[in-house]
């Protein structure tokens, strides 16, 4: 038996990074992660036990625009059914005292059917990918999601705000570092003004890298590209490509400016470390567009990146103390 089965959605790497931050505070608790793809790699490299069993559907993105969301939603539904079978076998084998899920609703459904206490970590309580007639599928899925959410013992939302019913808002959940910014700049050889470009764990953000490469000759700055290995051949030799990294939060801290897609965890890490940042969302991806809007950006800002970068280089760093990971871990400990 394990104390805790921790199911982390592999759709984007932000789920895994914040789950690592929480798990780092769960000392002396037997924890087994379940996820897949790049998320499994990051969790494993952080020293945790992990089952790499999920294969999530990839978004289809062309020139920064989300294409055919209805097709993706259907593929997600099929993925969800596969995850229910996988999580059922794992939960039956492990017999955990608690199931924690970061936006993996399949595992919550199984755990709740077995009367196992559940905790959900999430940014959103409903999706809004599809418009028109096909939206009825999404509405049905959202209705099922609401039923699962209400059955959870606790729902942890990594943002500031009041608690309500079973929802606990703990503030941003970010990974910590024991290094100073000066030490990290030496470690990464950031010798002059440095722009870190991050696109997450897939090629959906390739459009952002391509735009930055066009700006490179115009700006006397170091560009550090953080991406997946499969994209490495597309880069100019003048650009430092660090490929897939496990410590993006430290690179964000060391950077002078971050240019990134609008993932929630990346935004929270930039805020925590006080790094001036520009967030360009995938057009048509409702969650990223909402995240970017909250930071004052929209997709069309990609056409004025040079101006925005120069403005951000003059912006004062304002770190923000975050205790979301500690608060979330305390909530989980009380349920085990």
Report pLDDT digits (tens) over 129-151: 667 666 767 778 788 889 999 99
Give the list of residues 6+ apart from residue 321 with CB closer than 8 angstroms, or none. Answer: 272
Calpha distance 266→333 (Å, rounded): 26
Q: Which CATH number does the domain housing residue 243 bear?
A: 3.40.50.2000
Residue 280 lies in a domain: yes
Please give the mean pLDDT across all residues of the chain: 90
Q: Are residues 230 and 284 in the same domain?
A: yes
Q: Which domain holds residue 56?
A: 4-172+324-335
Sheet of 118-121, strand order: 49-52, 31-35, 4-8, 98-102, 118-121, 154-157, 167-169
**Mean pLDDT of all residues in 252-275:** 96
- What is the length of the chain? 336
pLDDT at 228 over 50: no
Task: Give the pLDDT band of residue 200 (cuts 50, 70, 90).
Answer: confident
pLDDT digits (tens, 9 = 90+) for 271-321: 999 999 999 999 999 999 999 999 999 999 999 999 999 999 999 999 999
Q: Are residues 16 and 118 in the same domain?
A: yes
Residue 29 lies in a domain: yes
**Of 264, 21, 244, 246, which is closest to residue 122 (Cα–Cα)?**
264
Residue 32 lies in a domain: yes
Q: Are residues 162 and 35 in the same domain?
A: yes
| DSSP letters spanning 66-79 | EE-HHHHHHHHHHH
Please give the pLDDT value at position 126. 67
Q: Are residues 37 and 85 in the same domain?
A: yes
What is the number of domains present in the chain?
2
Contact 31, 46 (CB under 8 A): no
Q: Are residues 293 and 198 in the same domain?
A: yes
Q: Are residues 166 and 24 in the same domain?
A: yes
Please give the pLDDT value at position 11. 93
Give the list of residues 6+ apart from residue 209 with CB closer than 8 angstroms, or none. Answer: 197, 199, 225, 227, 231, 234, 235
Please give the pLDDT value at position 56. 93
Residue 318 lies in a domain: no
Residue 293 lies in a domain: yes
Please give the pLDDT value at position 209. 86
Q: Are residues 98 and 207 in the same domain?
A: no
pLDDT digits (tens, 9 = 90+) for 84-116: 999 999 999 999 999 999 999 999 999 999 999
pLDDT digits (tens, 9 = 90+) for 5-51: 999 999 989 999 999 999 999 999 999 999 999 999 999 999 999 99
Helices (H), 10-68: 14-23, 37-45
Q: At what angle do helices 105-113 and 135-151 cross, to 10 degrees?
A: 50
Residue 137 lies in a domain: yes
| DSSP letters spanning 282-299 | PBT-HHHHHHHHHTT--G
Q: Are residues 166 and 25 in the same domain?
A: yes
- For the ranges 36-45, 157-166, 207-216, 262-271, the lowest mean pLDDT is seen at 207-216
Q: Classify the phi-psi angles of 78: left when phi > 0, otherwise alpha if psi is within -120 to 50, otherwise beta.
A: alpha
Residue 13 lies in a domain: yes
pLDDT at 233 over 60: no
pLDDT at 244 over 80: no
Q: Are residues 56 and 159 in the same domain?
A: yes
Q: Are residues 83 and 118 in the same domain?
A: yes
Q: Are residues 233 and 271 in the same domain?
A: yes
Residue 150 lies in a domain: yes
Q: Are residues 9 and 149 in the same domain?
A: yes
pLDDT at 245 over 60: yes
pLDDT at 322 over 60: yes
């Amino acid at each position: 038996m394990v104390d805790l089965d921790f199911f982390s959605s592999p759709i984007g790497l932000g789920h895994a990074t914040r789950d690592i931050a929480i798990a780092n505070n769960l000392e002396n608790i037997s924890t087994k992660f379940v996820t897949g793809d790049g998320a499994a790699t990051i969790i494993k490299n952080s020293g945790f036990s992990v089952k790499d069993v999920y294969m999530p559907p990839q978004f289809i993105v062309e020139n920064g625009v989300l294409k055919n969301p209805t097709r993706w939603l259907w593929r997600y539904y099929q993925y969800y059914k596969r995850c229910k079978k996988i999580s059922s076998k794992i939960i039956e084998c492990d017999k955990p005292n608690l199931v924690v899920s970061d936006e993996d609703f399949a595992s919550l459904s199984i755990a709740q059917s077995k009367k196992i206490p559940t905790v959900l970590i999430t940014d959103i309580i409903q999706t809004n990918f599809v418009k028109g007639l096909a939206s009825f599928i999404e509405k049905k899925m959202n209705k099922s999601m609401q039923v699962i959410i209400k059955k959870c013992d606790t729902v942890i939302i990594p943002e500031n705000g009041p608690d309500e019913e079973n929802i606990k808002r703990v503030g941003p959940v970010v990974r910590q570092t024991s290094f100073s910014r000066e030490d990290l700049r030496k470690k990464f050889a950031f010798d002059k003004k440095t722009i870190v470009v991050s696109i997450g764990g897939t090629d959906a953000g390739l459009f952002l890298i391509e735009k930055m490469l066009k700006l490179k000759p115009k700006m006397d700055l170091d560009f550090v590209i953080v991406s997946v290995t499969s994209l490495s051949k597309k880069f100019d030799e003048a650009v430092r490509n660090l490929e897939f990294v496990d410590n993006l939060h430290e690179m964000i801290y060391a950077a002078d400016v971050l240019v990134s897609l609008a993932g929630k965890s990346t935004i929270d890490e930039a805020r925590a470390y006080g790094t001036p940042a520009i967030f360009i969302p995938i057009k048509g991806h409702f969650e990223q567009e909402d995240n970017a809007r909250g930071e004052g950006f929209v997709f069309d800002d990609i056409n004025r990146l040079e101006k925005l970068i120069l403005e951000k280089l003059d912006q004062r760093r304002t770190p923000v103390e975050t205790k979301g990971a500690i608060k979330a871990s305390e909530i989980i400990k009380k349920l085990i």
